[in-house]
């Protein structure tokens, strides 16, 4: 399973990229608005940091397929080597995914909450589908079951090449479960990536090594 970072904060992206563990980035209008920066400029800067797929989403106010296609082409044109167009799961969104895919533009169908939605997106030509785990957990539904079901369903058909991006990941346990459930990618906030680094025994072990070294060799 690969890791994408779910953020529009370029400082976090640089730090995660320097660790050597991420292979892409997912963003959305809310994340970029949170940073208070220009949308296109931010996406363009991210492509200079990470050499991998960068998901940029069409505006939340865009509802017609023709407008999504136009915006998608503009997003893709920022960097054809890296940009992926993020499209919401709607009937108009599926039309846009089909049209963009036929132009060779990679797409990421977002806001997936059922296996049926994932199958529709795959058949429309989506490069990625993004099932949202944490939001399902929030309404007392086991989000991880969705990933496992999509994986099993896609594996039944050799002609489905759509990759599964586990999204709305809230903690390290989610990450491990995503890997066990067969997600191709987990897109995680920087906070979760940091949590994955630490364990009390690791931290105390490092401190003990330091103390032992200082006793013998000094500072």
Contacts of 70 (CB under 8 A, 6+ apart): none
* Segment 82-111, tens digit of pLDDT: 999 999 999 999 999 999 999 999 999 999
> Computed over its alpha carbons, how large is the radius of gyration of the chain?
19
- Taking Cα atoms as reference points, which of 161, 152, 168 lies closest to residue 113? 168
User: What CATH number does domain 2-217 carry, 3.40.50.1970, 3.20.20.70, 3.30.1330.10, 3.30.590.10?
Assistant: 3.20.20.70
The mean of the pLDDT values for the chain is 95
Rounded-to-integer distance, Cα 213 and Cα 218, Å: 7
Percent of the chain surpassing pLDDT 90: 86
Residue 86 falls in the annotated catalytic set: yes
Per annotation, catalytic residue among 15, 59, 86, 95:
86
Rounded-to-integer distance, Cα 65 and Cα 200, Å: 50
Parallel, antiparallel or unpaired: strands 107-112 and 24-26: unpaired
Query: Quick one: pLDDT band at residue 27, thresholds 50, 70, 90?
Result: very high
> pTM to 2 decimals?
0.94
């Amino acid at each position: 399973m690969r890791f994408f970072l779910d953020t529009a904060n370029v400082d976090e992206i640089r730090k995660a990229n320097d660790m050597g563990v991420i292979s892409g980035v997912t963003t959305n209008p809310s994340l970029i608005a949170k940073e208070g920066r220009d949308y296109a400029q931010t996406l363009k800067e991210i492509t200079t940091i990470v050499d991998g797929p960068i998901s940029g989403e069409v505006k939340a106010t865009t509802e017609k397929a023709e407008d999504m296609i136009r915006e998608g082409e503009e997003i893709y044109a920022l960097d054809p080597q890296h940009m992926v167009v993020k499209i919401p799961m709607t009937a108009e969104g599926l039309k846009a995914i089909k049209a963009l895919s036929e132009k060779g533009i990679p797409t990421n169908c977002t806001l997936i909450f059922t296996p049926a939605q994932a199958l529709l997106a795959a058949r429309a030509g989506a490069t990625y589908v993004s099932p949202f785990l944490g939001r399902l957990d929030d309404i007392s539904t086991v989000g991880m079951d969705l990933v496992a079901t999509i994986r099993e369903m896609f594996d039944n058909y050799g002609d489905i090449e759509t990759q599964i991006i586990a999204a709305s990941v809230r903690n390290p346990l989610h990450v491990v479960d995503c890997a066990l459930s067969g997600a191709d990618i987990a897109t995680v906030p920087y906070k979760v990536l940091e949590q994955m680094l630490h364990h009390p025994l690791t931290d105390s072990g490092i401190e003990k090594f330091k103390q032992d070294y200082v006793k013998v060799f000094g500072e």
